[in-house]
Amino acid sequence: MKGSLRAVFLTGAGVSAESGVPTFRGEGGLWRNFRPEELATPGAFKKDPWLVWQWYDWRRKILSGVRPNAGHRALSEIEKEKGAEGCTLITQNVDGLHQGAGSTNVLELHGSIWRLRCVLCAAAAENREVGLEEIPRCACGGLLRPAVVWFGEQLPEEVITAAVEAAGKADFMMVIGTSGVVQPAASLAVRAKENGAYVVEVNTEATPLTSIMDVTLQGRAGDILPLLL
């Protein structure tokens, strides 16, 4: 990684696990026995917006009490060492913890849990309120939803375009704390590999991406990433 000119890091929920944030598919990831795939969809929000909002309010409440961990901080240090243009951080996480640790060149593939968007007029703004009693509304009267990408929704055009370009140009990619099941995020690792990048995985367990890795570092991101500095 040290010698690489264009390093790309692709992260998932596992990089926030040590901050105390439940992962999607690990234990503790369920809420009222719903799986994320059942709640993070436009259909679920249409059917029962308050139920979906209670899940997000639960997650935002947890997130408002956590801090970036050593893994987030190490990635921020690496960006400082390599310069933002030599280090792109592509994250599937919506928690904002990479930015909280000081990373600046961050592509949020799935949006941010801290931004809300009006379903009617699409006005969007930062919002950090927790303990909501009812669904927040826009000045225009429309319901506000979390500005995250739900299953079946397109990723933000400019973000996925930048991510695909960075993955294609990378000479080094590290895939950290993702189960590698969600698309198109997981395909970015394949794209980097196909375009000649040296790819490394950091995960506590094997994933569908393990087979394409040049090196797999089995362990916790908070323990392994600081060793890279």
Distance CA 47, CA 44 (A): 5
Can you spell out the DSSP letters for 96-108? -HHHHTT--SEEE
* Residue of 214, 137, 209, 219 lying closest to 178 (CA atoms): 209
- The span from the CA of 191 to the CA of 203, in Å, is 19
Exactly one of 8, 13, 116, 163 binds ligand BV8 (CB under 6 A); that residue is 13
For residue 72, indicate whether it is catalytic: no
Pairing of strands 215-218, 7-11: unpaired
Residue type for 61, please? K
Piece in contact with Zn ion (CB under 5 A), picked from 33-41, 57-65, 135-143, 211-219: 135-143
Residue 12: which of Zn ion, ligand BV8, none does it interact with, CB under 5 to 8 A by kind?
ligand BV8
x/- track of binding to ligand BV8 for residues 63-102 (CB under 6 A): -----------------------------xxx--------
* Under rule CB under 6 A, residue 200 binds ligand BV8: no
Which partner from the list Zn ion, ligand BV8, none does 68 bind, CB cut-off 5 to 8 Å by kind? none
**Which residues would be at the binding site for Zn ion (CB under 5 A)?**
118, 120-121, 123, 138, 140, 142
